[in-house]
Structures are given as C-alpha cells and as structure tokens.
Amino acid sequence: MALPAASLRLAQLLKLMTSAVLVGLPLLFILVAIAFWRQGNELSASLLLPFAVQMLPALPYLWAVCSARRAANGLLRGELFGSALSAGLHGMGAGVCLGALINLLLVPNALRWMTGHGSFAYFDLSGIVLTLVGVLLWLLGQVVERASRLQAELEGFV
C-alpha cells in the first residue's frame, strides 16, 4: 500500500527540514564562536561550563532529529510499516523525552551546583508536555513494530 501524494510531500519536507537543522546548527555554532572571538572576548571555563551544561539537552534532541530523518527516509522508500519508521519513532520518542528530562532536572541542578543558587527542578509545562510526547512517540514506535510483524505474518499466509 502506497502513501498518498500529500503524505509523500510531507515526508520530503520533513527530510528537508531535518537536513537543514543538521547542517545549519553546527554552522550557527561556528559563526557565533567566530563572532565571539573576533570581538576580543576570552573563552574561559566560567563562561563555557554553564553554556555546555545548558546545551546538554541539545544532544538527545539532535538524536530525535536524526531519527525523524530516518523515519522520513523509510516513508519515502514506501515502507509504511517498516523497521525505519518504528526505529525512527523509537528514537524520536527517546530523544525528545530524554532531552526534556535533562532540561527539567539535570540542567537546573548542575547550574545550581556550579553557581550556588537556583532551583532543584525547572517546572516548565512545555518540558513536561515534551516528556509525555516523547513517551507517546516511543509507544507508537512499538505499535508500528508490532504492526510490521503482523503484516509480515499475514503476507506469509497469502
């Protein structure tokens, strides 16, 4: 069963958007570092360490972006219930959930430990919602994986 043309266009758009993020984000960091350096600012540990801690959630979020690209590639290949889609949903869910939890719990405590002030947790509704959406995406990955196995079993009967 093939995807409708509108869904294929959305999958192509998703692939393009994830490519833009994966290429543009490192370029943006490089440009900011060059601009910072050209202004004569020194990069000290007191500046870099808090920045690095605040960037920790970006790692699982980038994993989620890569997983979204994997899922889009699978859909563009015509794998409606394929392993690429289930793995992509698993990765997106895990990345979004982990990034949100790091942002809610780890970042505030690490910054509090480094600076001596701050909170134990960051009670941000968007972070809580992202955690829940991540769990839901991960569960949907399991459903797609199960559907893929059932589809293969049914095709074995035919």
This prediction's pTM? 0.83
Please give the mean pLDDT across all residues of the chain: 88
Q: Look at residues 38, 20, 40, 17 and name the one whose alpha carbon lies nearest to residue 28.
A: 20
- 72-89 tens-digit pLDDT: 999 999 888 888 999 999
User: Phi/psi of residue 78, each to 5°?
Assistant: 90, 10
How far the first Cα of the chain sits from its last, in Å, is 15
pLDDT in tens, 92-145: 999 999 999 999 989 988 888 888 877 777 778 999 999 999 999 999 999 999
As given in the structure block, the two tokens for residue 88 are: 């992509």
pLDDT, tens digit (0-9, with 9 covering 90-100), for 38-55: 777 776 667 778 888 889
Query: Domain residue spans in the chain?
Result: 5-157
DSSP codes joined into one string, 98-120:
HHHHIIIIIHHHHHHHHHS---S
